[in-house]
Structure 1
Amino acid sequence: MMVLLWIRGVLARRFLRVAGAAAGIALAVALLAAMSLFLADAGASMTARAVSAVSIDWQVQIIPGADPDLIGKALTQAAPVKAAHQVRYADVAGLEAQTSGTTQTTGPGQAVAFDSRYPTDFPAEIRSLSGTLDGVLIAQQTAANLHVGPGDTVSIQRIGLPPAEVRIAGVVDLPDADALFQAVGLPPQAAPQAPPDNVLILPRETWRQVFDPQQQVRPDTTRLQLHVRLDRETLPPDPVVAYTSVAAAQRNLEARVAGQALVADNLGSRLGAVREDALYASVLFLFLGLPGIALAVALTFAVTASGAARRRTEQALLRVRGATTKDILLLSATEAAVAAIAGTAVGMAAASLLAIVAPGLNPALGLDGPTLLVVAIFGLLVGFIAFLYPAWLDARWTTVTAARRTVSRPSAPLWQRLWLDCLLLAAAGLLFWQSASTGYQIVLAPEGVAATAVDYKAFIAPALFWLGIGLLTIRLSARIIASNGTLLRMIVAPVSGALAPVVSAALSRQSGRLTIGIAMTALAISFATSTAIFNTTYNAQARIDAELTNGSDATVFGTADKPAGAHLAALASLPEVATAEPMQHRFAYVGADLQDLYGIDPNRIGRATSLSDAYFSGASAAGTLALLAATPDGVLVSEETVQDFQLQQGDTINLRLIDARDHQYHPVAFKFIGVAREFPTAPKDSFLVANSAYVARMSGSDASEYVLMRAKADPAELARQASSVLDFDPSLKVADIGQAAHLIGSSLTAVDLGGLTTIELSFAVVMAAAAAGLMLALGFFERRRPFAILAAIGARPRQLAAFLWSEGLLILVGGIVFGLLSGLLTAWMLVKLLTGVFDPPPEALSIPWLYLAVMLGLVAASVAVAVWSARPSAGQAAEQLRDL
């Protein structure tokens, strides 16, 4: 009966505080559940993207003398195999062709044999450019070197045997050449092997006729592989579990073949990289959400602590009347149960609703039972601790006399005496300085797929900074308010007028309560600001990353024989095109190294693609392009080439370009004027950028192999329009920015943050408004008696409003100033620490001005509502005093 009476009294007399605590618990539970759902969805998305980026799951190289049939049988027993094909490789000393009365030769290369069904099961390995796929195929660059096409004859310089001639049936592109020609069995620390420059693809029977004799003479020049595609439908959605499953199957196969074959686990390597990214994503996204969860928990504790004086008085009265500590804790537990159960239930319901309405989330994925149980237990624990712990402290350590004392001497808390805030900020600065120099490192796996190394210590710095800036806010706010100085009077003067000295003096006696309100508001605004800025920067940079890979919103990729620039007029007239610019893609020899050469118009290339300052070393993008435009024979060289050839700016570089008039490579003099780290569509390692006019004049051809197109609105629609115009030529490939493939890069930037952004920014706005308005309202609720006394002794409503509005303005100004400053610094730290995730790194933070304006407007509105609702009712001061 006593418990029921207590609950009834609490709901009748302290409903606002119980509801506020329940709201804090609901926010914490809902955010934790929604973040858990997002992480599960992000993991499944990462796994799907990783699997789609790998064409050949396993490459099983059979040791000479082993039985391929036995290896194939062991393969089907070790893993669920969807397709497996034998692929034969042979080294060749060179290739030769005679066309138009001239003879062209190449260096060493490889001849590969696929069976007839290989392109069906591995469609990403071969892309037809011209001719047919039935017969001998030649790689695009090899065809350009030899200047051959369908119907021409190529002489294969076999090793240890006379040449053999074959007739070309088609020209193809090999998009996955890195994996197709990787060296199987190299140690993990070995550098990846570059694919051959010259490649022929022969039917299996033709390969046997040409290279079986070479295999007998030089068995070390041929090899046999099984290319395997696993049944990916059986893969778990979680990348960590999927990696474990694939790695276990690989070890099972190795045990079964007992040294008769070597396995290159491309799928496992990719999943291993994504596994690291998934763990990184967990830390990153939880870090972005944990301040919100911590803020909701802190709000719950602040709400319960706002009535600490009244609670101590009530407990003292109970103890005087014979209540034991157990009785007091039981009554507090009933109050906690009401808030905890209600808050947890509301939070779980809100999370379920968010899973349905938030973009980018898959509600069908759901959360497993253990996760839901942990989230529910978390909410209940927060509620009970928030109510029971203060009650236990007061009952255990506070005497009845001290509890009933209305005036006490304030003392600085221990953390202020130890200067813990400054120590935390100093530690954050030191760790940030250490981590920012390393950041997020991306390396290339020996199997030719991306792998990622993660510096998890990097997240300690923002966490320490967040805690330190919160404590520093309390210290500075308390000092400003308690000192009752000029700054405090200046803040309250706009709403208190002539009463500013009196109001500021009254506020200085409430510094403890006001400081907590300012700190909670500042932390909420900081969370909203840092989350919004980071998410906006992340989304903007992810688009730049994709544009770097694709070239522009939509790009038409052609070849030397079928240049996309020939259709520039038709492409530029498409309804969705904002601008279209041609770009040359040639090949040039730097010494003996064949590199990609891009010819551009420096004055116009920026109309079709974004060129970041981070693309260039030692100068801005605008400055570098202006220098290139002013130097007709100038060339920008990649960092790797500069280091490999020990180049100095101003050096003359003789590049060998193929001349369209005689189809031979001739040296052309270029002047080295700058270093390019990145360039649209360029590979990550070695490339060159020059003036297209100079390249055209020196090579005898003004053809542009690529066309970059900027879309007016939807890049996908532009790509569809371009494809419909060019559907007569299958050698022209159209890709939009949404299709950009990151073979080398972080799958972290491939994760859609739409769901996370909706969740975090929605919670951030709610918590910012709640922290300011609720804390202010609870403070007014506790001070109803002083305001009633002022009204009873003759204070006019305008004079009472001066106290109320001054308190609201103080919390609002302090919260906004400290919150925006700390939020901006936190976002800057996160982006700086994660510079390596973005390719290229961001030049500056992207500020979501509209969101910040809306958020600050809602905070101000919540303060205004709290002040308006706290106004004493006219003529009812006596009745209020009797009630209080």
Structure 2
Amino acid sequence: MNLLWIRSLLFKSPLRIWGTAAGIALAVALYASLAAFIGHSAARMTVRAAQAVPIDWQVQLLPAAQPAQVAANIRKAVAVTALHAVYYANTAGFVATTGGTTQTTGPGKAIAFDAGYRHAFPQEVHLLTGSLTGAVVAQQTAANLHVKPGDTITVQRVGLPPVKVRIGGVVTLPDRDALFQGVGLPKGAKPQAPPDNVLILPAAQWHALFDAQAKQRPDAAWLQYHVKVDLSRLPADPLKAYTAISGAAHNLEARVAGKALVADNLGTRLNAVRADAAYAQVLFLFLGVPGILLATALTLGVTSTHAARRRTEQALLRVRGASTRQLLALAASEALVTGVAGAVLGVAFAALFARGFIGALPQGAALALALGGALVLALILALLAIWVPAWAQARQSSVAEAGRGIGRRGAFAWERYYPDLLLLVASGLFLWQSASGGYQLVLAPEGVAATAIDYKAFIAPALFWAGSILLSLRLARLSLSRRNRLLHAALRPLGGALAPAILATLARQSRRLAVGVALLALAVAFAVSTAVFNTTYNGQARVDAQLTNGADVTVFGTGAAPAGAHLGALAALPGVQAAVPMQHRYAYVGADLQDMYGIQANRLLRATSLSDAYFPGSTAAQTLARLRATPNGVLVSQETVNNYQLALGDTLRLRLLDARTHQYHTIPFKFIGIVREFPTAPRDSFLVANAAYIAKTTHNSGAEYALIKTAAPPAQVAAEARRLLAGVAGVQVKDLGQVAHIIGSSLTALDLRGLTRLELFYALLTAAAASGLLLALGLFERRKVFATLDALGARPRQLAAFIWSEGLIVLVGGVVLGTAAGLAVAWMLVKLLTGVFDPPPQTLSLPWGYLSLLLAGVVAASVAALWLATRRMSRVPVATLREL
């Protein structure tokens, strides 16, 4: 009997099976696609985070340790791809006599690498000029001593006589913070600042100069092992990878207790990535769950259009002796077939998405979990859509009631209690509570191998979704009143003299039409909120990359090779809109050496952009104007203001390197504002001042950097700039694309274009389905009404007036209410996900192209459904009355 029932449905009512299966497939496809994307993103986060760590572990040997034994223990604790020795020694200072003047520095470091180190860790040392075969000095040391390759410096050892060393080259140390970090510092201790003066020696020369110092002063010379972990052995999930690598580090600490100290740089990085992985889950909950619920509502809406037919079928089956158990068995078989069909269609679409936009399918346990979850979700939706309504009808209705087919009219039962307004007010209160906590949606507590997501923050958007749906139902039902003069006037051009009759018909169908309006509003709200959020998200990802890189293209030079010297040639390159110079110097604030940026405040914005969020208590325009009006003004980072207890208007005495004397001299500046972020600046301490004042007081007008705004693709302009500067040593050219790839593993650094296309396509599809499919099915199920009107002599134009009036009410109401709700949800999502953005967006970014496409799609689907219904209903034969 069950097979006969399914066969009859497939051949007699195919829309009933496939329409419900299509709704289930939408939910399954979105779930499986998001699950695949999030799993892939988590794996990419782990790989990118690990690759961004130049030195995974630093193991510092204590005086009594045996190097070979410690190295063996490292290999037992973790699989390694590289393990090399680095020798460190403290120096009392360096002295150089050049150009008739003598320069002396403070304490520094002399280091050496074993054979193969530079091949295993290529990012630690970058040659600027000279050769790496002999002794080399860091760029800042060369500037302090005013030396170049071929010059000789005096190294003042600790407890031993000074020695002379000939310099063969000048280098930069991009990872100097990690290279010279204090290994074994107590938890919570402030990180040590890297030394300003560094000498790098060949290993044999280091041993010749500092082995004796190591014997006399073990605290002034030591050995470190730098370790590169085999990343292929790490789990794909960031949390699991963090747990594995931190466990291995603890194992090593236990093995070498009293012999060595361990700095787990890789674990520290993965620990930070835990929050980013949690944000991926948050993104799924915020964007995926509403879409799945929308597909559920759409599926239930599709099945509800067949409610009258189902009641009739149950009545006929009961008359012919079917029991309640048999009725439920038939409904269960229909739900099973529909659920399996929906699961297969949804998984097939998700597989196409994964192949097309991700490039890989989930593997192993992840694949099994995705398939199992998709099947369970499909069956649950099928039971909710088919079996549960059948059960309710079988338990609560009689044969006579089933034959009437009269729906309820009037207000919904819940309207008298105003749950919609209560839900919206509660949503606002929960959002205010999240705001008071600084929108800290994700927390990764120090030392805890777990990431905490503040799930209470999800209450606000969940309540808003529920409240907005109920409010849409209320407003739509209230507007469909016989006394609504505005609606009567709107219907008169379409219905003419039939406008009162049409309005009366709409009023009788107010509850059914209100559900249609609410479903379309929900679909439009999902589409609008997703599109606005994704556009804002992608825009902020570019802002984040531009903040790190400085501009679309930035030329990074040095004091010896300033990029500003080539500014005219760079500005003349094809595709360049503007090229602006920027100084990058170093200044001492007390004993703290900080980056200092000299800008032309009236020209900076031609090449880059500044967010108001960079300047607390002011705007970017106001701050630049204040800096322009104060020649000796300086903007100070928040950390420096806190450390030195500065107040606006204070005189800040900074020490900068003078180009004439090659010595640091004190220069007075006036503290005029705080800066949190700035193009190319580090995240901790830095200074911003007028380039003209810095040039005047240091007798050096050179600009180390050049910021370039492009009209052509940044990568294309960067390639032209590299060709132009190919023969200039010490100059680097970077564009936004490069920086977006390396700024870290944060969620805004991920390429979300595939996910964005999926979500926007899905939102467009569901909106069109809500407007077109539901409208068509609803009209198709009401053929009996239109056949009766036709039998009574209604002309095709009069039938069309009824059909189009109903369709336009649903279309206009759903689009207006949905757009308002979608913008509100997008604003709420951006606020709650403030932690993703650096800096937070100032305004929402509206994707006008997509919103226009969405409106066109919804209108086209509605018009197509109404046109088809008009053609079908105007030709309903009288014999159809007997069939219906």
Q: Which bin holds the TM-score, normalised by the shorter protein?
A: over 0.9
User: TM-score scaled by structure 2?
Assistant: 0.94
Per-residue deviation, residues 32-89 of structure 1 (Å, max 9, x unmatched): 1111211122122212211221110111112220111001011112222111111122
Q: Is the 8 A contact 1:280 1:456 kept in 2?
A: no
How far apart, CA to CA, are the structure 1 residues paired with 2:381 and 2:407? 29
How far apart, CA to CA, are the structure 2 residues paired with 1:191 and 1:434? 32
Describe the shift of the 1:483–1:272 C-alpha distance in structure 2 as closer, same or farther (beyond 3 A).
farther
| 1:391 aligned residue | 390
| 1:130 aligned residue | 129
Identity of aligned residues (%): 58
SS state at 1:702 partner: coil
Describe the shift of the 1:779–1:873 C-alpha distance in structure 2 as closer, same or farther (beyond 3 A).
closer
How far apart, CA to CA, are the structure 1 residues paired with 2:483 and 2:91? 88
| 1:880 aligned residue | 880
Q: Is the 8 A contact 1:53 1:741 kept in 2?
A: no
TM-fit CA distance, 1:279 = 2.5
- How many equivalent residue pairs? 880
| 1:310 aligned residue | 309
TM-fit CA distance, 1:757 = 0.6
Per-residue deviation, residues 586-625 of structure 1 (Å, max 9, x unmatched): 1112222222111111122112112222222222222222
TM-fit CA distance, 1:9 = 3.7
| 1:192 aligned residue | 191
Q: Is the 8 A contact 1:440 1:837 kept in 2?
A: no
Describe the shift of the 1:714–1:445 C-alpha distance in structure 2 as closer, same or farther (beyond 3 A).
farther
SS state at 2:773 partner: helix
| 2:360 aligned residue | 362
How far apart, CA to CA, are the structure 1 residues paired with 2:297 and 2:190? 50
How far apart, CA to CA, are the structure 2 residues paired with 1:590 and 1:852? 51
SS state at 1:870 partner: helix
TM-fit CA distance, 1:574 = 2.3
Describe the shift of the 1:874–1:803 C-alpha distance in structure 2 as closer, same or farther (beyond 3 A).
closer
Describe the shift of the 1:493–1:135 C-alpha distance in structure 2 as closer, same or farther (beyond 3 A).
farther
Q: Is the 8 A contact 2:775 2:807 kept in 1?
A: yes
TM-fit CA distance, 1:170 = 1.5
| 1:475 aligned residue | 474
Per-residue deviation, residues 693-713 of structure 1 (Å, max 9, x unmatched): 221122111111111122232
| Matched ranges for 1:45-60 at <5 A | 45-60=44-59
Per-residue deviation, residues 440-478 of structure 1 (Å, max 9, x unmatched): 48999999xxx9875443333222222221222122222
Amino acid at match of 2:116: R
How far apart, CA to CA, are the structure 2 residues paired with 1:116 and 1:139? 20
How far apart, CA to CA, are the structure 2 residues paired with 1:277 and 1:252? 27
Describe the shift of the 1:137–1:460 C-alpha distance in structure 2 as closer, same or farther (beyond 3 A).
farther
Describe the shift of the 1:661–1:267 C-alpha distance in structure 2 as closer, same or farther (beyond 3 A).
same
Q: Does 1:210 align with 2:209?
A: yes
Q: Does 1:72 align with 2:74?
A: no
Q: Does 1:568 align with 2:542?
A: no
| 2:779 aligned residue | 780
Q: Is the 8 A contact 1:269 1:445 kept in 2?
A: no
Amino acid at match of 1:702: S
How far apart, CA to CA, are the structure 2 residues paired with 1:226 and 1:692? 43
| 1:581 aligned residue | 580
| Matched ranges for 1:109-188 at <5 A | 109-188=108-187
| Matched ranges for 1:685-696 at <5 A | 685-696=684-695
Q: Is the 8 A contact 1:596 1:687 kept in 2?
A: yes
SS state at 1:735 partner: strand
How far apart, CA to CA, are the structure 2 residues paired with 1:403 and 1:874? 28
How far apart, CA to CA, are the structure 1 residues paired with 2:273 and 2:655? 40
| 1:528 aligned residue | 527
SS state at 1:368 partner: helix
Q: Does 1:510 align with 2:509?
A: yes
TM-fit CA distance, 1:765 = 0.5
How far apart, CA to CA, are the structure 2 residues paired with 1:211 and 1:446? 38
Q: Is the 8 A contact 2:588 2:594 kept in 1?
A: yes
Q: Is the 8 A contact 1:247 1:268 kept in 2?
A: yes
Amino acid at match of 1:327: Q
Single out whichever of 563-572 and 507-516 deviates more from structure 2. 563-572
TM-fit CA distance, 1:25 = 0.9
| 1:428 aligned residue | 427
Q: Is the 8 A contact 2:632 2:669 kept in 1?
A: yes
TM-fit CA distance, 1:766 = 0.5
| Unmatched tracts of structure 2, length 5 or more | none
| 1:839 aligned residue | 838
Describe the shift of the 1:798–1:209 C-alpha distance in structure 2 as closer, same or farther (beyond 3 A).
same
Q: Is the 8 A contact 1:132 1:169 kept in 2?
A: yes
Describe the shift of the 1:484–1:97 C-alpha distance in structure 2 as closer, same or farther (beyond 3 A).
farther
How far apart, CA to CA, are the structure 1 residues paired with 2:379 and 2:152? 79
Q: Is the 8 A contact 1:128 1:730 kept in 2?
A: no
Per-residue deviation, residues 645-664 of structure 1 (Å, max 9, x unmatched): 33333333222221111112
| 1:726 aligned residue | 725
Amino acid at match of 1:883: E
| 1:738 aligned residue | 737
Q: Does 1:657 align with 2:650?
A: no
How far apart, CA to CA, are the structure 2 residues paired with 1:23 and 1:625? 56
How far apart, CA to CA, are the structure 2 residues paired with 1:487 and 1:199? 81
Describe the shift of the 1:399–1:708 C-alpha distance in structure 2 as closer, same or farther (beyond 3 A).
same
How far apart, CA to CA, are the structure 2 residues paired with 1:830 and 1:50? 26
TM-fit CA distance, 1:861 = 1.0
How far apart, CA to CA, are the structure 2 residues paired with 1:597 and 1:423? 53
SS state at 1:552 partner: coil
| Matched ranges for 1:176-325 at <5 A | 176-325=175-324
CA RMSD of aligned residues (A): 2.6
| 1:698 aligned residue | 697
Q: Does 1:538 align with 2:542?
A: no
TM-fit CA distance, 1:393 = 1.2
| 2:458 aligned residue | 459
How far apart, CA to CA, are the structure 1 residues paired with 2:632 and 2:307? 78
Per-residue deviation, residues 845-883 of structure 1 (Å, max 9, x unmatched): 111001011111111111111111112554644233233
Q: Is the 8 A contact 2:740 2:749 kept in 1?
A: no
TM-fit CA distance, 1:535 = 0.8
Describe the shift of the 1:361–1:429 C-alpha distance in structure 2 as closer, same or farther (beyond 3 A).
farther
TM-fit CA distance, 1:536 = 0.7
Q: Is the 8 A contact 1:719 1:734 kept in 2?
A: yes
| 2:487 aligned residue | 488
Describe the shift of the 1:778–1:661 C-alpha distance in structure 2 as closer, same or farther (beyond 3 A).
same
TM-fit CA distance, 1:406 = 4.0
| Unmatched tracts of structure 1, length 5 or more | none
Single out whichever of 558-567 and 331-340 deviates more from structure 2. 331-340
| 1:804 aligned residue | 803
Per-residue deviation, residues 271-329 of structure 1 (Å, max 9, x unmatched): 22223321320221342122111111111112112222332233233223321111101
How far apart, CA to CA, are the structure 1 residues paired with 2:381 and 2:874? 40
| 1:870 aligned residue | 869
SS state at 1:586 partner: strand
TM-fit CA distance, 1:742 = 8.6
Amino acid at match of 2:228: R
How far apart, CA to CA, are the structure 2 residues paired with 1:726 and 1:247? 44
How far apart, CA to CA, are the structure 2 residues paired with 1:203 and 1:427? 68
SS state at 2:852 partner: helix
How far apart, CA to CA, are the structure 2 residues paired with 1:403 and 1:285? 42
| 2:85 aligned residue | 86
Describe the shift of the 1:328–1:230 C-alpha distance in structure 2 as closer, same or farther (beyond 3 A).
same
Q: Is the 8 A contact 1:93 1:157 kept in 2?
A: yes
Describe the shift of the 1:205–1:484 C-alpha distance in structure 2 as closer, same or farther (beyond 3 A).
farther
